[in-house]
Amino acid sequence: MASAPDSTTGRPDRVAGALLGVHAGDALGATVEFDSWEYIRFRYPGGVREIMGGGVFEWPPGHATDDTDLTRAVALAYLDPGDDVVLAAARRMLNWYEGDWPGRAPGRPPVDVGGATEDGLRAFAQTGDPGGSGAGPGRAGNGSLMRCIPTALAVRDRDRRIRDSMRISAVTHSDVRCTVACAAYNEIVAALVDGVAANGAVAAGAAVARELHNTDVLAAIALGERLDLAELARTGVTGLPDDGNGYVLDSLALAVAAVLDLRDLTDVLIDIVALGNDSDTNAAIAGGLLGARDGASSIPDGWLSLLQFRVEFTEIAAVFGRR
């Protein structure tokens, strides 16, 4: 059972921590994305403890991968939503896909994009309809869960937060496991930034899954409540359906286990990354919950200083924190 929240950590720090936690987890895990637990244990016997960049896509240290980039796209949509924040988010994500993005030559596509995300954004480019472009049932990757956290930070009304979470997921990931996972995750985040203890926040996420009658998401949350991340990192035996290799419910279970872990954010993220496979996305999703729990002040300065969008995310968080 998780301890009570630190009373010295205020809501603005937790809002910033949520965004920067995604970014930091992403950057930490990018070094070993797609690597196995065995290789990581051999190459980094003490775990990946610093943001180093590299990996299969040769990232500069702290550079955003698709996890952070698409989180930024959704966050920017909430700053300037127009008449429909879902349409605004879809347009920002399409900008990213088509090469209108910081740190990239104009028109140059991203080097890393998930298949469902690519298919959904291509469909949106053709139809202009964010509600009809998702990759469809049966494709339940973690590509919408990794980017959904801005909704939890920007929207105070619970019903709208659930609705936005599911609709923004469905732009690319319309499988109900993805849409409900995003809604449940964002209720956990919203509770954490309001100062609810981790176990109570997880209960809020489970309540959403129950209301939406999704037993798969409920089971993933329950699995996360049983996982011991230190043991998983020590043995490499996860017990997850897809071994943490991109399935949305694996990533949700790991994030729940992370936020219920009593250790510091850094130790928990190091263990998430040590599991390998989709290491950057798993760590980004878990990092969002840990940052919402512990605040931006819990993220090491050496990590923060390298993050590509640190300043911008801090400014966005300040806006969200006043809502």
What is the CATH architecture of 11-321? Orthogonal Bundle (1.10)
Question: Residue 8 — very low, low, confident or very high, per pLDDT cuts 50/70/90?
Answer: low
pLDDT at 9: 73
Give the residue-averaged pLDDT of 12-26.
Answer: 98
pLDDT at 323: 83
- Secondary structure class of 59 (helix, strand, coil): strand
Give the residue-averaged pLDDT of 295-313.
Answer: 98
Pairwise CA distance, residues 67 & 142, whole Å: 10
- Secondary structure class of 143 (helix, strand, coil): coil
Least confident of 137-141, 175-179, 254-258: 137-141
Residue-wise pLDDT tens digits, 159-184: 999 999 999 999 999 999 999 999 99
Question: Residue 315 — very low, low, confident or very high, per pLDDT cuts 50/70/90?
Answer: very high
pLDDT at 16: 98
pLDDT at 4: 46
pLDDT at 265: 98
Pairwise CA distance, residues 237 & 229, whole Å: 10
pLDDT at 1: 37
Read off the tokens for 176: 């109900």
Burial of 26 (C-beta count, 10 Å sphere; 0-12/13-18/19+): buried
| Residue the block writes with tokens 């997921």 | 169
Instruction: Check the annotation: does 216 bind a ligand.
Output: no
Give the residue-averaged pLDDT of 76-95.
Answer: 96
Are the C-beta atoms of 274 and 233 separated by less than 8 Å?
Answer: yes
pLDDT at 6: 53
Please enumerate in sequence order all residues whose Cβ is within 8 A of that of 181, keeping only pairs 6 or more positions apart, or say none.
145, 169, 217, 220, 248, 249, 252
Instruction: Check the annotation: does 261 bind a ligand.
Output: no
Residue-wise pLDDT tens digits, 197-240: 999 999 999 999 999 999 999 999 999 999 999 999 999 999 99
Give the residue-averaged pLDDT of 59-75.
Answer: 98
Instruction: Check the annotation: does 100 bind a ligand.
Output: no
3: pLDDT strictly greater than 50: no
pLDDT at 2: 44
Give the residue-averaged pLDDT of 121-150.
Answer: 90
Are the C-beta atoms of 31 and 52 separated by less than 8 Å?
Answer: yes
**Residue 202, CA distances (Å) to 62, 190, 286 in order:** 29, 10, 13
Pairwise CA distance, residues 285 & 148, whole Å: 9
Pairwise CA distance, residues 31 & 229, whole Å: 20
**Residue 281, CA distances (Å) to 19, 30, 215, 247, 278 in order:** 14, 8, 23, 10, 6
Q: Which residues pair with 54 in a beta bridge?
A: 59
CB atoms near residue 71 (< 10 Å): 25
Question: Residue 133 — very low, low, confident or very high, per pLDDT cuts 50/70/90?
Answer: low
Average of per-residue pLDDT values in the chain: 95
**Residues of the chain with pLDDT > 90: what percent?**
93
pTM: 0.96
Instruction: Check the annotation: does 66 bind a ligand.
Output: yes
Instruction: Check the annotation: does 13 bind a ligand.
Output: no
Residue-wise pLDDT tens digits, 88-120: 999 999 999 999 999 999 999 999 999 999 999
Closest to 24 in 3D by CA, of 189, 319, 270, 293: 270
137: pLDDT strictly greater than 90: no
Are the C-beta atoms of 218 and 177 separated by less than 8 Å?
Answer: no
80: pLDDT strictly greater than 80: yes
The residue among 140 and 132 whose pLDDT is bigger is: 140
5: pLDDT strictly greater than 80: no
Are the C-beta atoms of 298 and 46 separated by less than 8 Å?
Answer: no
Instruction: Check the annotation: does 278 bind a ligand.
Output: yes
